[in-house]
Structure 1
């Protein structure tokens, strides 16, 4: 099984049927198409035998710059937007942690509950398990448990995170399953895009990292401007919760693929390399 067949075998048919993953599906298949066609394009250009090695490289690079790199950058952007959407979906399922700061009576009651929780979570694992079951059925206790550091409720942060995960899965099982499935699709698209970028590099016979990065930045510059304009148009003030979780953006992993290749940057004079 070659690398393209391996990627295809991992793509689930249901992903192509999901309306929320339609652009992701398009990005995946577009990346596969480029992985397949780049070697063929080089062979076709080399066929007549009238191009020097440098001329052949220039020709394949011209095709890639015009017809492949811009589409790959758009594909990556579609994957990034899907990933951000999944992050927001997860945030909506999370246990609320914001409270009315002016409600002193409510704050005092939750403090008392946390004291009770500390006592309830002492004992054998069987006793703790039974008490957790009770806690998960009492909304007031849950609100108290997720306010402030986990230690205030007699938990570790890891234990509370696991509790939250189980609560979300219990209350929103189908939604969590759909989100996790979509995450797998995003990861697969990431792999396909990375493979397509490496194919461009190989078939274009780029031998220098800095030159390839500079060339990719130039080839994708127009798409970068389109993306920047779209981000400005869609930008809105962040809520407190979003601001706190901004550093955990799922799309960071995907953006890393193009970090050294598609983000415009300046090369110092002594690092410039001629084609």
Structure 2
């Protein structure tokens, strides 16, 4: 007894005819008729009275139809259960971010929605992040600006201004701000090569004809923050990442409008990985329109 034969019988009984059963099964009528014939032949029973353009169940057919109703109801329940199980998102989501600030709130909400997902978060610059994604060492990246390459899909998080910052007391009047030329007279603490913040700063300085020479190159944003907090010099950061550190003060950059976009990215060929798809779908509906944050006056 084959499943296809029972299915053909059930649909003929349920729909009251071979033609309608064939339409429901997306098969030809002869194919459905053949499946029912083989079932009857294999068990030496008559399941339908064929009466011109209509069919009628025999007593044996009535009993079998009751059983197939139960069978296909259970089959549907199994399908529903497996579908629900498949929809449950579990596993590991590895995120590499040039700044965790932009995804912290999102991650908390995502974990509450998908408690079966273990999230790991580590830092890196743009080059590191793209390399990790392409090496399958991470699922999601958060980087500045849109990357080049057709292998990357992205979701824009908006933009913020880049500002200077220093230890409290280093400048007499930090609120007055500095031009890039004035800032260059101080010891500068910059991120490592590959940092989008540093690249954006250097591009604007070159446009203005200002030479930016780091006194200290620090690996990572937190290292820059601690060096600046020690009074070693001036650093640069996007306004959204400045945070609340009483040791530090913001310094507007006068005559320079340097902006930093933040973008969630993943490999295009991994878009159907369940945990990636869930994260991107979760991030997209709740995100605001691209925002613009300007320095404090």
TM normalised by structure 1 equals: 0.26
**RCO greater where, 1 or 2, for CA within 8 Å and sep 6 or more?**
1
Which of the two has greater helix per residue?
1
TM-score using structure 2 length: 0.25
